[in-house]
Amino acid sequence: GENVEQHPSTLSVQEGDSAVIKCTYSDSASNYFPWYKQELGKGPQLIIDIRSNVGEKKDQRIAVTLNKTAKHFSLHITETQPEDSAVYFCAAAFDQAGTALIFGKGTTLSVSS
Amino acid sequence: ETGVTQSPTHLIKTRGQQVTLRCSSQSGHNTVSWYQQALGQGPQFIFQYYREEENGRGNFPPRFSGLQFPNYSSELNVNALELDDSALYLCASSVWDSYNEQFFGPGTRLTVL
């Protein structure tokens, strides 16, 4: 069945450093890849997404890259700040509407000042 | 614009009981998806509803069922509760067939004793 692997499970960086989280997916038909940030006691919040016809997308300090051939996609956060500390999830849609998501197991990012 | 709301916030049940969780969609959204998030894991897709019908289901048994109402709000029902059903249950609303962002609610924490 469909599967999304996410690494690393924990990541600790100093404020101002960059953070990179990597995911691989199994279903070659997937064509929508969102990234979510989840803070304690809250539901996941979309931070950036990418569709399969795009190789890279950037939004201020956050960027996502997609390699469809290798079935890899990555989240890059530059100039990290303490408020970036949270759990980050990658996901891949396995339906045509893009609304049924398979999530990775999450990465706990800690940014120390 | 009102976001996705869920009720109740917390719930404690005993094994074998039945539970109903509720979700109100964000204004303008016609699709509701339900996810189960075990502690320390990513959300797992249960099913989604569009036009009051189930439209896509993950690997969950039939004792997990749902409804969507004409105002697009939704219910998740779980019969014959098991200890492993203890989790955070998240609903997300979106617009069907447009790869738009899914907005997640804060979740309902279910504990089965």
> Could you tell me whether strands A10-14 and A107-112 are parallel, antiparallel, or unpaired per DSSP bridges?
parallel
Instruction: Tell which of A99, A101, A103, A107 to mutate to test the B interface (max B CBs under 10 Å).
Output: A99
Over range B71-100, report the average pLDDT.
92
| Cis ω before B8 (30° cut-off from 0) | yes
Rounded CA separation A80/B99 (Å) = 28
Residues of B in contact with A46 (CB under 8 A): 101-103
Taking CA atoms, what residue in B is nearest to A4?
A: B42
Q: List alpha helices for B5-101, DSSP H.
A: none
Report DSSP letters for A17-57, one per residue.
--EEEEEEES-TT--EEEEEEE-TTS--EEEEEEETT-SEE
pLDDT value of residue A106: 98
> B97 and A96: CB-CB below 8 Å?
yes
pLDDT above 70: percentage of residues in chain A: 100
User: For position B74, what pLDDT does the model report?
Assistant: 97
Query: Quick check: A108 pLDDT over 90?
Result: yes
Cβ–Cβ under 8 Å, residues B104 and A43: yes
Q: Cα separation of B25 and B29, whole Å?
A: 6
Reported as a single tens digit per residue, the pLDDT across A14-52 is 999 999 999 999 988 888 999 999 999 899 999 999 998
> How far off is chain A from B49, nearest CA to CA, in Å?
10
> With bands split at pLDDT 50, 70 and 90, how would you rate the model's confidence at B20?
very high
